[in-house]
Structure 1
Amino acid sequence: MSLTIYHDGQFWVGIIEVVEGGKLKAFRYVFGAEPKDTEILDFINYRLLEVINQSVHAGLDVKIKSNKKVNPKRLQRQVAKEINNVGISTKAQEAVKKEYEEKKKSRKKKAKQYREELKEQKYFIKKQKAKAKHKGK
C-alpha cells in the first residue's frame, strides 16, 4: 500500500494504491488545502480504511513482486527514487479512471430507473383522473 500526496493545480490530493491478490486498486482523496503532518497522520489512522472500504471496484491486474530480501543500498536508492517521483503511476490513473467510469454507469442506471418510475407514476395518475372524469366526479 502506498499513499502519494501531490498538488494537482487546485487542491492537494492523496492517491492510495493497494495491491490485493494481483489486483491494483487506486483511490483518490482530496485534502483541499495543504495538509499538515498531523492531518496526514489522522487520515492514515482514522479515515484511510473508510476510503478503501467505501469503494468496491475490480481493479487492474498487476504482477506481484516477490518478497526477496533487498540489499540495503538498493533499498535506499529505491526510497530516494520514490521520494523524487512526483505524481501517480499510470496504473493508478487507469484504476481511478475505471472506478470513475463504473460510478458514472451506475448513476446513469439510477437516473434512467428514476425517470421510468416517474413516467409510470404520471401515467397512473392520468388514468385515475380519466376514470374519475368518466364517473362524473
Structure 2
Amino acid sequence: MTTSVTLTVCFDAPFWVGVLEIAEAGEVRATRHVFGSEPTDAELYQFLLRHGTALLERAQANPAVPVETRHPVRHNPKRAVRLAAREAARVAQGRRSTASQEALRLELEQRKSSAAAESKRRKQDEAERKYALAQAKRKRRKRGH
C-alpha cells in the first residue's frame, strides 16, 4: 500500500494557500492552510517542521474521497501529447485535483456544522446567563434593597 503526500502552494486571490493531499489506497484526504503572503522555500520548510504533524493529523481527520480510476484508453499520439500538455499546465497553475477539491469541500462542511453548533451553544448559554441576571435583579427589587 503506497501513500503519497503532496503540498501544493498556489495563489487563491488574495492569499497564498497550501493544499495538503494524502493519497492512499484509491482515496484522497485533503486540508488547506492559508499563508497570506507568498512563502519562500525556507519559510515553507520551517512551517512544515513546526506545523507539519498537525497539518497531517488535520488531513487524516477529514473524510476520504475515492479517486476515480480510469482504464487506459488508447489515443492518437498527437492527442496524448495535447492531453499531457493540458495536465502539465493544470499542475503548473496549482489547480487541485477534483478528488482533493471534494475532500476540501467536505472538510469545509464539517467545520461549518461544528461552528454552527458551537455558536448555537454559546447563544443559549448567553441567553440563560441573561435570564439568571434578570431573575436576580427582579428578586433584589422585590426585596426593596
- After TM superposition, is the score higher than 0.5? yes
Q: Tell me which of 132, 140, 144 is aligned to 1:132.
A: 140
Cα deviation per residue 1:74-110 (whole Å; 9 max; x = unaligned)? xxxxxx9875423111111111121111111111111
Which residue is 2:14 aligned to? 10
Matched, 1:60 2:68: no
Matched, 1:116 2:121: no
Which residue is 1:77 aligned to? none
Q: Which one-letter code corresponds to 1:116 in the other structure?
A: Q
| SS of residue in 2 equivalent to 1:110 | helix
CA-CA distance at 1:20 after TM superposition: 4.7
Q: Which one-letter code corresponds to 1:27 in the other structure?
A: T
**RMSD of equivalent CA atoms:** 2.9
| SS of residue in 1 equivalent to 2:62 | coil
Which residue is 2:33 aligned to? 29
CA-CA distance at 1:130 after TM superposition: 2.0
Which residue is 1:107 aligned to? 115
User: 8 Å contact 2:27–2:66 — kept in the other structure?
Assistant: yes
CA-CA distance at 1:39 after TM superposition: 2.3
Which residue is 1:51 aligned to? 55
Deviates more, 1:47-56 or 1:85-94: 47-56
| SS of residue in 2 equivalent to 1:52 | helix
CA-CA distance at 1:61 after TM superposition: 3.1
Which residue is 2:82 aligned to? none
Deviates more, 1:23-32 or 1:100-109: 23-32
| SS of residue in 1 equivalent to 2:134 | helix
Q: Tell me which of 75, 96, 102 is aligned to 1:94.
A: 102
CA distance in 2, matches of 1:115, 1:57: 27
CA distance in 2, matches of 1:90, 1:2: 15
TM-score normalised to structure 1 length: 0.71
Which residue is 1:73 aligned to? none
| SS of residue in 1 equivalent to 2:43 | helix
Q: How many residues align?
A: 124
User: How much identity, in percent, do the aligned residues show?
Assistant: 32
CA distance in 2, matches of 1:12, 1:126: 48
